[in-house]
Amino acid sequence: MLGRTRLFLYIAVLLLCVVPSLQTQIRKSREQALGQYRDLSLETRERIEDPGWWPTKGDAAESEYADPGACAECHRDLAAAQHETPMYKAGRRPDDAEVLERHPNLTFDEGGFTYLLKSGSNGTTLTVGRGSNVESEKVTWAFGEGEVGQTYLFKKDQTYLESRVSYYTTLNALSITAGQRVDVPSTMEQAFGKPLQWQETQSCFACHTTMSTTSNTFHADSAVPGVTCQACHGPGANHIKAMTGGSGEKANIFNPGVLPPATSVDFCGACHRTWADITLDMVDTGIIDVRFQPYRLENSRCWRAGADARITCVACHDPHRPLVRDLSTYDKNCLSCHTRGVHAGGLKAPVAICKVSTAHCVSCHMPKYVVPQARASFTDHDIRIVHPGDRFPE
Ligand code: HEC
Ligand code: HEC
Ligand code: HEC
Ligand code: HEC
Ligand code: HEC
Ligand code: HEC
Ligand code: HEC
pLDDT tens, per residue, the chain with 394 residues: 344 545 444 454 444 444 545 555 555 555 555 444 568 999 999 999 999 999 999 999 999 999 999 999 999 999 999 999 999 999 999 999 999 999 999 999 999 999 999 999 999 999 999 999 999 999 999 999 999 999 999 999 899 999 999 999 999 999 999 999 889 999 999 999 999 999 999 999 999 999 999 999 999 999 999 999 999 999 999 999 999 986 667 899 999 999 999 999 999 999 999 999 999 876 767 899 999 999 999 999 999 988 999 999 999 999 999 999 999 999 999 999 999 999 887 788 899 999 999 999 999 999 999 999 899 999 999 999 998 888 887 6
CA dist 385 and 260 (Å) reads 27
User: Which atom number of ligand 1 is nearest to the Cα of residue 71?
Assistant: 37
Q: Report residue 273 CA to chain centroid gap.
A: 6
Q: Is 66 in the pocket of ligand 1 (CB under 6 A)?
A: yes
Of 363, 315, 313, 317, whose CA–CA distance to 337 is shortest? 315
Residue count (the chain): 394
| DSSP annotation of 279 | H
- The pLDDT value recorded for residue 3 is 47
Mutational pocket test of ligand 7: of 333, 342, 364, the residue with most ligand atoms within 8 Å of the beta carbon: 364
Q: Is 224 in the pocket of ligand 1 (CB under 6 A)?
A: no
How many CA atoms, within 13 angstroms, populate the side-chain half-sphere of residue 281? 15
Burial 329-363 (b: 16+ CB within 10 A, else e): ebbebbeebbeeeeebbeeeeebeeeeeeeeebbe
Q: Is 360 in the pocket of ligand 5 (CB under 6 A)?
A: no
- The pLDDT value recorded for residue 245 is 83
CA dist 173 and 107 (Å) reads 8
In 70-164, the DSSP E strands lie at 91-92, 105-110, 113-120, 123-130, 133-138, 141-143, 149-156, 159-163
Of 146, 60, 140, 168, whose CA–CA distance to 101 is shortest? 146
User: Which atom number of ligand 4 is nearest to the Cα of residue 264?
Assistant: 12
- Residue ID of nearest Cα to ligand 2 atom 18: 144
